[in-house]
Amino acid sequence: MTPSTGVKTLKIDGRDFSARPDETILDVARENKIFIPRMCELNGLSTVGACRLCLVEVKGSNKLLPSCVTHVEEGMEVTTTSERLTHYRRMIVELLFSERNHVCSVCVSNGHCELQNLAQKLGITHVRFPYRNPKVEVDASHERFVIDHNRCILCTRCVRVCDEIEGAHTWDIMGRGVDAKVITDLNQPWGSSATCTGCGKCVHVCPTGALFEKGRSVAEMEKRRSFLPYLTLMREEHE
């Protein structure tokens, strides 16, 4: 029986929940304090389904579905944690660590980093794959901020917050595969950007220490995210 109100009922990890049809599995999980790991998703920004950490099992589907972009359906039975999912999530986090040069001990975000925290949560004590050790740059040309590509995991939160919330679209992506990188304007030094408003939103949505404020030393860069739900809410009410 489908409720005529449009409200969907579903099961997540064996518990019953109701949801609006426009909600995603992750929305419902978040409301109900069920933790699903993710890196690219941030509440208040559009979803891209790119990091693949939020994949969940849905009964009747032989595919794993990204919970951040999968809308709820009536009668859905979702499993957010299983041995298989944890195995994949560990591998994905290990891949992120192996991709660039993440040196937690000397990172401004040490202790406040989403990647570091997730690794611990998933029980990762070492990375099984050889490190790629790429030579990537650090752009400190901006007056107040720095982008250290060594620590970037290409979640594109900076790209989206700049475009969707600040409206400047200073950030974007160039290159393919492991050579992809976030750029300011048309790959110009950040400090010379004509579009950057210096609002710092990109810095604070960044999950790692890739974007940080100048003058912060090891472990001193704590990100403040509270502005984002507020701005999103205000915008929605305005519309």
Partner 1 sequence: MTPDELLEIAETERESQKRFTHRVNVCLAAGCVSCQSQAVKDALDSDIARRGWGDHCQAKGVGCMGLCSEGPLVSTGVLTGNDRLYKRVAAADAAEILDSIDGAPVSRLRCPTDVPFFQRQKKIVLENSGVIDPERIEDYIAAEGYQALIQALTEMTPREVVEQVMASGLRGRGGAGYPTGLKWSTVAKSFGVQKFVICNADEGDPGAFMDRSVLESDPHRVLEGMLIAAYAVGSSDGYIYVRAEYPLAIKRLRAAIRQAERAGLLGANICGTRFSFKIDLRLGAGAFVCGEETALIASVEGKRGTPRARPPYPAMEGLQGQPTLINNVETFANIAPIIRKGGEWYAQVGTEKSKGTKVFALAGRVQNTGLVEVPMGITLREMVFEIGGGIPDGRKFKAVQTGGPSGGCLPEEVLDQPVDYESLARLGSIMGSGGMIVIDESSCMVDVAKYFMDFCMTESCGKCTPCRVGTYQMHRILSSITEMTATPQDLAMLEEFCDLLKHTSLCGLGQSAPNPVVSTLKSFAAEYKSHIEDHTCPAGVCGKQPGGART
Partner 2 sequence: MSKQRLATVWLDGCSGCHMSFLDMDLRLIQLSEMADLVYSPLVDTKQFPENVDVTLVEGAVSSEEDLHKIQAVRQRTTTLVSLGDCAVTGNVPAMRNPFGTKAVCERAYCENVTLDPGIPDQVPRLLSCVRPVHEVVAVDVYIPGCPPSADVIFYAVIELLNGRKPDLSVMTRFGA
Contact positions vs partner 2 (CB under 8 A): 97, 101-107, 110-111, 116-117, 119-120, 122-128, 130-131, 133-136
Picking from 187, 213, 191, the residue whose alpha carbon sits closest to that of residue 200 is 213
Per CB under 8 A, 154 contacts partner 1: yes
Kindly state the smallest distance separating residue 128's Cβ from partner 1, in Å.
Answer: 7
Q: In what order do the strands lie in the sheet with 15-19?
A: 15-19, 8-12, 77-79, 55-58, 64-66
Picking from 98, 67, 108, the residue whose alpha carbon sits closest to that of residue 178 is 98
Q: 33 or 126: whose CB is closer to partner 2?
A: 126
The token duo for 185 is 């304007």
Kindly state the smallest distance separating residue 119's Cβ from partner 2, in Å.
Answer: 6
Between the CA of residue 29 and those of 18, 25, 55, 170, 179, what are the distances in Å?
Answer: 11, 6, 13, 32, 34
User: At 148, is the secondary structure helix, strand, or coil?
Assistant: strand
Kindly state the smallest distance separating residue 67's Cβ from partner 2, in Å.
Answer: 24
Given candidates 95, 140, 168, 219, which one binds partner 1 under the rule CB under 8 A? 95
- Stretches 50-58, 110-118, 213-221, 231-239: which one binds partner 1 (CB under 8 A)? 50-58
Per CB under 8 A, 207 contacts partner 1: no
Distance CA 232, CA 2 (A): 31
Half-sphere exposure of 126 (CA within 13 A, CB side): 3
Per CB under 8 A, 7 contacts partner 1: no
- Stretches 96-104, 114-122, 193-201, 226-234: which one binds partner 1 (CB under 8 A)? 96-104
Which of partner 1, partner 2, none lies near 168, with the C-beta cut-off 5 to 8 A by kind?
A: none
Given candidates 55, 72, 108, 119, which one binds partner 1 under the rule CB under 8 A? 55
Per CB under 8 A, 49 contacts partner 1: yes
- Stretches 114-122, 141-149, 174-182, 209-217: which one binds partner 1 (CB under 8 A)? 174-182
| 8 Å CB contact between 30 and 41 | no
Task: Go through the chain and tell me how many residues it has.
Answer: 239
DSSP 8-class letter at 130? P
Distance CA 24, CA 204 (A): 24
Binding site for partner 1 (CB under 8 A): 48-53, 55, 63-64, 66, 69-70, 88, 91-92, 95-96, 98-99, 128-130, 132, 153-154, 172-173, 175-180
